[in-house]
């Protein structure tokens, strides 16, 4: 294919390895979200703001903060080691190694960026559809199996053979 970046010597990560890595991270993210939710619910209840958004304000704020934390974590982890802890457990990483931080930030804003919006009614449905679509596009993009976030940043998930 013309214009397709090459990764010489890189063995592509399987779709299920990528899914398992994100699932591992989602479990930790979920715990972080619930801790934030409990803290924010207590704070908002104390100051009399727990009824905002029909009682959904603590959840919306927790989703926003936890989602923002996940985006920042994803970006920083890929900038430092080209992998998150989920990718490290699954022994995969991003290639190539010489990407600018701005490309990795764009990647993190496309996925997992929409998680920030999950606490907002109706918008959360659109964010969920976008996240599902990113995963689906990875499966149908043969042979490279890259999602929109990978294409935007010029990355590919590969097996970490180091």
Contact between residue 117 and residue 60 where contact means Cβ atoms under 8 Å apart: no
92: Cα separation from own chain's centroid: 15
pLDDT at 1 over 50: no
Query: Which of left, alpha, beta for 7 (phi over 0: left; psi -120 to 50: alpha)?
Result: beta
Round to whole Å and give the CA distance between 68 and 97. Answer: 25
Contact between residue 13 and residue 158 where contact means Cβ atoms under 8 Å apart: yes
What six digits make up the tokens of 79?
């900038």
Residue with tokens 């294409």: 151
Q: What is the pTM of this model?
A: 0.86
Residue with tokens 């990718």: 87
- Length of the chain in terms of residues written: 162
pLDDT at 47 over 90: no
Provide the residue ranges of all domains of the chain, joining segments of one domain with +: 15-159
Phi/psi of residue 159, each to 5°?
Answer: -70, 140
pLDDT at 38 over 70: yes
The per-residue pLDDT for range 96-138, each reduced to its tens digit, is 989 999 999 999 999 988 988 888 888 999 999 998 998 899 8
The per-residue pLDDT for range 52-100, each reduced to its tens digit, is 667 778 888 888 898 899 999 999 999 999 999 999 999 999 999 899 9
Q: How confident is the model at residue 17 (pLDDT cuts 50, 70, 90)?
A: very high
The pLDDT of residue 50 is 67
Pairwise pLDDT comparison (3 vs 25), residue with the higher score: 25
The pLDDT of residue 89 is 96
The pLDDT of residue 126 is 92
């Amino acid at each position: 294919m013309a214009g397709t970046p090459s990764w010489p010597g890189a063995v592509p990560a399987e779709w299920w390895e990528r899914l398992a890595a994100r699932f591992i991270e989602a479990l930790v993210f979920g715990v972080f979200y619930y801790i934030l939710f409990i803290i924010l619910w207590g704070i908002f209840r104390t100051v009399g703001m727990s009824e905002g958004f029909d009682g959904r304000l603590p959840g919306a704020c927790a989703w926003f903060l936890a989602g923002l934390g996940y985006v920042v974590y994803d970006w920083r982890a890929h900038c430092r080691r080209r992998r998150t802890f989920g990718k490290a457990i699954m022994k995969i990483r991003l290639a190539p190694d010489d990407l600018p931080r701005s490309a990795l930030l764009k990647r993190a804003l496309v996925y997992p960026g929409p998680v920030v919006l999950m606490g907002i009614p109706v918008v959360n449905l659109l964010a969920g559809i976008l996240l599902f679509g990113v995963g689906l596009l990875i499966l149908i993009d043969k042979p490279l199996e890259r999602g929109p976030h990978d294409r935007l940043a010029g990355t590919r998930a590969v097996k970490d053979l180091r």
